[in-house]
């Protein structure tokens, strides 16, 4: 995404020219609109995603719960539901990767 004159940011990594862009492109300012209609659902995602600029932009003001092993994802979602959460946003990157691979496979022109 273009973020300045000649500057293109990798939004998933929140980097410009290989450097951390959080100082120059603050995530909270980049996406100032409340997510999830202003509610604060528990978000269950990989623990290492918690401190990223991308998570800071699109998951700000949520209750982030990190997991380190895929099996912990289901355990944490269940814990949140049992605790009374009416909605739990769970992210498993394996599904996302398959979806991107599928899209790439269907949009690639054969040689």
Q: Report the distance separating Cα 87 and Cα 39, nearest Å.
A: 10
15-71 pLDDT per residue, tens: 999 899 998 888 888 887 888 888 889 999 999 988 888 888 888 888 899 999 999
pTM of this prediction exceeds 0.75: no
Q: Report the distance separating Cα 46 and Cα 50, nearest Å.
A: 7
Asked if 21 and 9 count as a contact pair (C-beta separation under 8 A), the reply is: yes
Q: Report the distance separating Cα 93 and Cα 100, nearest Å.
A: 10
Asked if 9 and 3 count as a contact pair (C-beta separation under 8 A), the reply is: yes
84-108 pLDDT per residue, tens: 999 999 999 888 788 777 666 666 5
């Amino acid at each position: 995404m273009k973020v300045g004159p000649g500057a293109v940011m990798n939004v998933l990594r929140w980097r410009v020219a290989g450097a951390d862009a959080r100082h120059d492109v603050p995530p909270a300012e980049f996406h100032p609109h409340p997510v999830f209609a202003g509610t604060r659902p528990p978000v269950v995602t990989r623990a290492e995603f918690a401190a990223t600029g991308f998570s800071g932009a699109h998951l700000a003001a949520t209750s982030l719960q990190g997991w380190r092993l895929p099996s912990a994802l289901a355990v944490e979602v269940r814990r949140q539901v049992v605790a009374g959460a009416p909605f739990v946003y769970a992210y498993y990157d394996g599904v996302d990767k398959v979806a991107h691979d599928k899209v790439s496979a269907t949009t690639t022109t054969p040689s």
